[in-house]
Every structure is written in structure tokens, then in C-alpha cells.
Chains A and B, each alone.
Chain A
Amino acid sequence: MLKRVHFPASLLPYLLVAPQVIITLIFFIWPASQAVYQSFLIEDAFGFSTEFVWFENFEYLLQDDHYRDSFGRTIFFSAAVAFLSMSFALILAGFADRVIRGSTTYRTLLIWPYAVAPVLAGALFLFMFNPTIGIFPYLLEMVGYDWNHYLNGRQAMFLVIIAAAWKQVAYNFLFYLAAMQSIPRSIIEAAAIDGAGPIRRFATIIFPLISPTTFFLLVINAVYAFFETFGIIHAVTQGGPANSTTTLVYKVYNDGFIGLDLGGSAAQSVILMFMVIVMTVIQFRFIEKRVQY
């Protein structure tokens, strides 16, 4: 942690950490503590009076069907995004690992969506699935399927899931390919000599050996789907129709800035903070495992 040889204490180290610590205090610690404080308050509709109510906001939230629905929806959304983008990336990485020449070229061709902002990914998919001019609704109509995600909640959910998964494929592919390429060739060769075909080798050797990466990516994808997909949802569905795509983060924003329910929004923030802390702890534990491996 500290160097064996180091500089003696003076004013200098304090000056060096000062910018980081001041920004952390003003923009992180203070707002977070404000959120905790506000979550114990109820403000009347006109902002004239506030009342300290202990855990009433939380009790209200946990009994609120909208909130509970949005909780379940967020978990479904995250699981779907993680499963879709990870399995797609796993298949591609499995084949790219096999290709002798050109796997770097494929990597280049597959990693750039990482750089696309979530809201832009949303805009792209919105354009493709626009009910009046989009190409996919046009094709779907030819086979007799009616697409309108402005009215159909399931279709809206599907749309935000594939937009979010599309953007995340790049990241998953990169980590899966790196994990597969780090498996010693001798193990795979030994299995081949014993007569295991490519599919068997993948199922019994490659996939178990990259399981630490799978766990790691599961956590990363869950964090991504929870917190970084706001832009996609805001651009594509704005939480609608009828709240069918309102995730937890979108609800914090919506209740706080549109609904101006400060106490409720703050209580939701506190719950989310708690969840981030849990996810971070899990992430660190898995990463420790990964390092051992």
C-alpha cells in the first residue's frame, strides 16, 4: 500500500490530495448525505413546510405497487440485457478464438459500439423501429405482425432491451476473447488428442475455465443495465407506455425532476446507493477470485 521508501510528512501531501477530496466532499459526500436526510422528510405540494417522518417514505415506497413493479421490471430488464449481450458475445468470441488469421480484424469490427453513447444507441433503434417509417415495422407488417412500441408495453421493453444489449456486446466480446486466448493451448490440445470435438471442448473445457470472466461480466452488465441505460430509455420510450419501461433509475429522475416528489425520490436514491454498494462489494470479491485464477 505504502512504499517502503517514502517522503516524510509535510504540508505537501495534503495539498496533493486536496482537489480530489474537496470535489468528493462537495459533490459526492454532501449530496449523498442530503439524499439520506431528505429521504426522512415529507414536503407539502407547495414547498411551504417540511415534516420529519423517519422511515415513512421508505414504508410508502415498499408498499407502492408502482415502485415494486419497477423493481421487478429493472431486474427483468438487467437479466435480459446481460443474457442477450453476453450470449451473443460468447458465440462470437468462441468463433473468433478459432480463427487463426484475422481475429484482430474481427475485434476491431466488433468493439466500436462501446463508444456509442446510450442515448444514441436508443436513437438508432428508435429510427429502425419507428412505427411509421422504420424498416423493421415495415418488414413485420409484411408477415402480418403489428409493431407499435408507443402503444404496446412489451414491444417497448423489447426495444430498449435490444438497444441496451447491442451497445454492450462490444465490451463482453472483448473480455470473453481475452479470457479464451489466455487458456493454455496445451489443455485444449490434450482434449483434442483424447478425441473431444470442438463443441465438447467448448462445453467441458473452455466454458468452465472462463467462468470467472462470466461472473465478472454478469456483475458489470447488471451495473450497466441498472445505471447506464437511462439515456436509452429516455430517448426511446420515456418510461412508457404506461410505465412499462420505467426502471429504478428512470423513476428516481421522473419522480424527482418531473413529479417533484423530493422525499420519495431521495428515498429511492438511498435504496439505489445501497444496491450499488452491494454490487461493488460483489464485484470486488469476484475480481479477487479472477486474479487468483
Chain B
Amino acid sequence: MVENRPLLSILAHIVLLLGVAIVALPVWITFVGASHEAERMLQTPIPMLPGDQFFVNLRQTLWGSGLEGTNTAPVWMMLMNSMVMALMIAIGKIAISLLSAFAIVYFKFPFRMGFFWMIFITLMLPVEVRILPTFEVIADLGMLNSYWGLTVPLIASATATFMFRQVFLTIPDEMLESARIDGAGPMRFFWDIVIPLSRTNIAALFVILFIYGWNQYLWPLLITTDTDMMTIVVSIKQMLEAAEQSPQWNIIMMTALLAMIPPIFVVIAMQKLFVQGLTETDK
């Protein structure tokens, strides 16, 4: 640093540690809540230190029939639904964005700009503002309560297309020239040169989109009425409603914990890609 002020450095660490503690507090309380018996969670003050029931609760939450008095699916099933949904959204978005960005950058064809602007418009229409008519489309197509209905409407992505377009524009033209001299067609060029060159960007985007997909709430809430199709993020709300009658906070908090762990794990394990993805998609 510029000048040596040990007191200020100590203050910096103290403030940062306090910040970390404030940010982590809700999750700590959740973890504590997930490690006690249901009865203990009804007496005030609730404990601030973890109890010994963590694995009992974990087993009951994962393999049991969920919360008493609700008709939620077992949690392992909802975790699987969430995983399928998140993967389908992430992979689907990346696949169709790669293809359309490739077409827009590497081909000259009539209506090219028209398509570009049509894709751009999707950026402006988040699900939240067109809920009802989109829901009607899905209902008319018979896609309620299916993985397709859950994922396909969220797959179109202007941000991903823009990002790949930027990446492709940085690929030197000589690459294409030499590939063409060697007799490679467009798709060969796409697979053997464009995809390998944008590998880190694809990975970075995957991290962001996986989190985006996993955390979807409003859309699955509307599309899934079957308990078998319910995702874990949506189930929390059902459990909170049930908690008014039969408070089993240990199970609810355990479910919340299980719903948080996969995306948090992805962020921490792939931090570098995550930061790259976050800064790139917002350009």
C-alpha cells in the first residue's frame, strides 16, 4: 500500500471480517436450525450453536416424504428436478446462442440484421413482465408439468448471443482464410476452430447460467402443478406456508441449505470462471 499505517490495516481487517460475519449470519442461523430437533426450534431463544441432529435431519429431509402435512415431493427428487432444469437451461442457452452468433458473425445473408434485432428484443422482455401470455402459450402447447415447458421458454438469450458475438469477432480472420484454403466447410470450421477457441468463455457462461437456471422461481412456480415436477427452490415456499400449521423448522432449514449448496459450490469452486462470466455478460 501507499503508506504504512498498521492501525488502518488492522481496522481494514476488522471491518472486512465484520462484513463477512454479517453476510454469513443468515446462513449460519440456517445451518444451526438444520441441526436441531423440531421441538428445540420452537423454544425461544432459538439456539445459536449447532446441535447434534444434523445427519438425522439430513436423512429425513432427503429420503423422507418431505414435510409433514404438505404434499411436496421427497427432497432428493426435487434436487434432481432442479439439476435437470438448470443443466437444460444452461446447455440449451449456450448451444443456441453459439449457433446464432456464429451465423450472424460468419455469414452474409438477407435479413441478417433483422434476426439480430429480433434476438436483441428478448433482452428487453424478462419473464416477469409477460407472465400471463407466456403461460397461456405453454398451456396451449400442452407443455405444463414437463421439463420442456420449464426450460425452453427461458432458453432464448440475447446476452449469451452478444457475448459469443464479441468473442467470435476477436478470432483473427486468418483462421478462417487458412481453414478455407485447407478445404474446411462452415461446420467443420465451427467445430474445430470456433468452439475450441471460445472454450473458456463457454465455461464462464455455463457457471452463470447454471446459477440462473437453478434459481428460477416464478416460472417453475407457474408451470409445475405436479408435485413430481417441483423444483427445490419452489418447494421452500410451500414449506413456509405449511410452517404456519406444523412448524418443522429443522426440515425447512435443511431443505433451504440443500437448495443453496449446489450453486454456492459452483461459485466458490469455479470462482475465476464465475467472475469472468459475470463481468463478460454485463458488457
Q: Using a CB–CB distance below 8 Å, which chain A residues touch chain B?
A: 1-10, 12-14, 16-17, 19-21, 23-32, 34-35, 38, 88, 91-92, 95-96, 98-100, 102, 106-121, 123-128, 132-135, 138, 166, 169-171, 174-175, 178, 185, 188-189, 192, 198, 216, 220, 227-228, 230-231, 234-235, 249, 252-253, 256-257, 262, 265-266, 269, 272-273, 276-277, 280, 287, 291
> Shortest distance in angstroms between A212's beta carbon and chain B's nearest beta carbon?
13
Is there a chain A Cβ closer than 8 Å to B206's Cβ? no
Q: A100 and B24: CB pair below 8 A?
A: no
Q: B2 and A88: CB pair below 8 A?
A: no
Interface string of B12-48 (1 = CB under 8 A from A): 1101100110011111011001000000011111101
Residue total for B at the interface (Cβ-Cβ under 8 A): 105
Q: A120 and B99: CB pair below 8 A?
A: no
Please give me the residue from chain B that is nearest to A268 by CB atom: B129
Pick from A6, A26, A189: contact of B107, CB under 8 Å: A6
> Shortest distance in angstroms between B226's beta carbon and chain A's nearest beta carbon?
18
Cα separation A56 to B61 with both chains bound (whole Å): 51
Cα separation A4 to B169 with both chains bound (whole Å): 10
Q: Using a CB–CB distance below 8 Å, which chain B residues touch chain A?
A: 1-3, 5, 8-9, 11-13, 15-16, 19-20, 23-27, 29-30, 33, 41-46, 48, 95-97, 99-100, 102-110, 112, 115, 118-119, 121-126, 128-134, 136-137, 152-153, 155-156, 161, 168-169, 173, 176-177, 180, 186-187, 211, 214-215, 217-218, 221-222, 233-234, 236-237, 240, 247, 249, 252-253, 256, 259-260, 263-264, 266-268, 271, 274-275, 278-279, 282-283
Q: A95 and B15: CB pair below 8 A?
A: yes
Q: Name the A residues within 8 Å of B9 (CB-CB).
A: 98-100
Q: A115 and B156: CB pair below 8 A?
A: no
> In the complex where A227-B128, A257-B222, A266-B133 touch, is A20 in contact with B23 (Cβ < 8 A)?
no
Q: Name the B residues within 8 Å of A4 (CB-CB).
A: 173
Q: B134 and A253: CB pair below 8 A?
A: no
Q: Name the A residues within 8 Å of B129 (CB-CB).
A: 35, 227, 249, 252, 269, 272-273, 276
> In the complex where A123-B252, A135-B29 touch, is A5 in contact with B173 (Cβ < 8 A)?
yes
Q: Name the A residues within 8 Å of B256 (CB-CB).
A: 120, 123-124
> In the complex where A9-B107, A9-B109 touch, is A132 in contact with B44 (Cβ < 8 A)?
yes
Cα separation A284 to B185 with both chains bound (whole Å): 36
Q: Name the A residues within 8 Å of B168 (CB-CB).
A: 3
